[in-house]
Amino acid sequence: MSQWGIRVTTPRVSKASATVDFVVSIDNDTEADAAVDVSTMIHALDADGERLGEPVATIGETDVRVAGGAAKAVSGTAIVDNPRLWGPPPNQRPNLYVAITTVREGRGIVDGVETRFGIRSVRFDPDSGVLVNGERIPLNGVNNHHDLGALGAAFNLRAAERQLEILREKGANALRMSHNPPAPGLLELADRMGFLVVDEIFDVWRSKKTPLDFHLIRR
């Protein structure tokens, strides 16, 4: 599979069922054409990130032929009944699922990726604000870089977790990731702990702060 080659969305969500759409990008780094099968199983996770029992939904094997040196996207849809919705505490719980995507060539497994995700609906209303799973959520947020002061920018799981625990105790429920791509581990912590996130790569668009700023690639 391609690096960052799996996209998961939940376009239709209710307490009774949720539609989970997948797009999987397959890279063929060889010169020869390849025929592969792509399948995905979805498991619910407990609070410790462990799988709960049998898969709650599956996307059966899809036959794909990828030309040598090329890439191809495969899409699929699964329905999860009675989904355990992701939402911010204290009224909601940050329930998570994991999608296990497997690529097989012949009888052998040639690649596999686990993608953790939450099932939730988010709506922005001009009168009510942000609604997560139908509940109005006042955003008590902070502007947060993933570096940790004297510890530096190399990601430290426990230090970042401690920082989020302190922010949560102070009432924070949202993070703006401060115009830099955050460490993937920080986003995973936010998912697990129930923080809403603005995953922001730039802080300039058409305007600029310096002559060679990001505005040059947003025109």
Which domains does the chain show, CATH number per domain? 6-117 (2.60.40.10), 139-198 (no CATH)
- Tokens found for residue 201: 């790569």
Q: What is the pLDDT of residue 167?
A: 95
Average pLDDT, integer, range 124-128: 93
Evaluate if residue 79 carries a pLDDT over 90.
yes
Evaluate if residue 200 carries a pLDDT over 90.
no
Task: Check: CB of residue 135 under 8 Å from CB of residue 121.
Answer: no
- Tokens found for residue 81: 């009944």
Q: What is the pLDDT of residue 208?
A: 86
- Parallel, antiparallel or unpaired: strands 141-143 and 174-176: parallel
Amino acid identity, position 160: A
Average pLDDT, integer, range 12-26: 94
Evaluate if residue 214 carries a pLDDT over 90.
no
Evaluate if residue 163 carries a pLDDT over 90.
yes
Q: What is the pLDDT of residue 218?
A: 65
Percentage above 70 pLDDT, the chain? 99
Average pLDDT, integer, range 172-191: 90
Helices (H), the chain: 157-169, 184-193
Average pLDDT, integer, range 123-146: 92
pLDDT classification of 219: cutoffs 50, 70, 90 = low
Q: What is the pLDDT of residue 106?
A: 84
Greatest mean pLDDT among 64-73, 94-103, 175-184 lies in 94-103
Evaluate if residue 30 carries a pLDDT over 90.
no
Full-model pTM: 0.88
Evaluate if residue 209 carries a pLDDT over 90.
no
Evaluate if residue 141 carries a pLDDT over 80.
yes
As a whole number of angstroms, the distance between CA 206 and CA 196 comes to 26
